[in-house]
Structure 1
Amino acid sequence: YIWVPGSFEISLMARQAALSGRYDAVICLGSVIRGQTPHFDYVSAEVAKGIAAAGFQTGVPVIFGILTVDTMQQALERAGIKSNKGWEYAMNAIEMANLIRSFRGQESILGYEESEQGTLSQQTLPFSTNWTIASESDPDS
């Protein structure tokens, strides 16, 4: 877990984590909450571009888990009250890491088994993947 002072700083730390060579994927978590000025639009766009660039530049999957919302209530609902975006981002990170590893001829970091009903169930990870980059909510007002 790495805390940064604001959403705009996330992409730099994501790139540094990816360049360290210690991680198969990086998950960026945070929220940008719309305020009274156009600042929200600028910050949201630049954070998205920076996170995408971190992945492109390093070849390590960098997952965009930044909630862009109008209110704190929306952020809370999307983060876990009504849905669990964090879980979705973690699954995306694992899937992307596995795809990259397969291109490199490496073993997957997580296996899946298909049930008789055709659904996938995950198997246990052989190591801890508790790594995220996070920021507190970043209201733009």
Structure 2
Amino acid sequence: MSLSICGQNGELPETQIAIVVSRYNESITGKLSVAAEQTLLDAGFTPESITVAHVPGAWELPLITAHFLRQPKFGAVIALGAVIRGETTHDEHINRAVSLALMNLGLETGKPVAFGLLTCNTVEQAIHRSGGNVGNKGVESADAILEVLRLQPKLPA
């Protein structure tokens, strides 16, 4: 017999959550951050249990994410940023390095890390993903964290 485990409902652990948000492309990332924080508040987290840290750009997301993940009181981190393609391949290098670093941090610490880094070809695409006609990836990132936090205690030892 198979066992099906779901984290879409259930109790949330008492923990703190950090939101690490890039200031680069702040007109985009600010909307992601506000939406992620509101999603956590709507789920029952208190303002005191949410820490928002601003970093210069996407490149700095993993370092500060690691800082929070290594503190016992933080149970998860939502990493938010927006890298928009330019005239060179710079965006590809940033996106690859940051995404791999964030994934490795989650695996290393056993704590969930939400990947809320927009990797868009145009500013218009980023606008659509930060509250436009494609939704808000800040909400999606916070929802993913909430689901994993609910799921983890249900997993078999």
- Equivalent residue number for residue 60 of structure 1: 111
- Give distance in 1, aligned partners of 2:66 and 2:154: 22
For residue 96 of structure 1, report the CA deviation from its aligned partner: 0.9
For residue 104 of structure 1, report the CA deviation from its aligned partner: 8.2
Q: Does 1:100 align with 2:152?
A: yes
For residue 103 of structure 1, report the CA deviation from its aligned partner: 3.6
- Give distance in 2, aligned partners of 1:104 and 1:28: 28
For residue 23 of structure 1, report the CA deviation from its aligned partner: 2.1
Runs of 4+ in 1 over 6 A off after TM superposition: none
Q: Does 1:77 align with 2:128?
A: yes
For residue 101 of structure 1, report the CA deviation from its aligned partner: 2.8
Q: Does 1:89 align with 2:141?
A: yes
TM-score, structure 1 as length reference: 0.70
- SS of residue in 1 equivalent to 2:139: helix
Question: How many residues were matched structurally?
Answer: 105
- Equivalent residue number for residue 47 of structure 2: none
- Give distance in 2, aligned partners of 1:10 and 1:101: 27
**Aligned-pair RMSD on alpha carbons?**
1.5
Q: Which runs of 5+ in 2 are unaligned?
A: 1-51
- SS of residue in 1 equivalent to 2:106: helix
Deviation track 1:93-126 (CA, whole Å, cap 9, x = no partner) reads: 0111122233489xxxxxxxxxxxxxxxxxxxxx
- Equivalent residue number for residue 5 of structure 2: none
- Which range moved further: 14-23 or 41-50? 14-23
- Which range moved further: 15-24 or 60-69? 15-24
**Structure with more relative contact order (C-alpha pairs < 8 Å, separation 6 or more):** 1
- Equivalent residue number for residue 131 of structure 1: none
For residue 16 of structure 1, report the CA deviation from its aligned partner: 1.1
- SS of residue in 1 equivalent to 2:75: coil
TM-score, structure 2 as length reference: 0.63
Q: Which runs of 5+ in 1 are unaligned?
A: 106-141
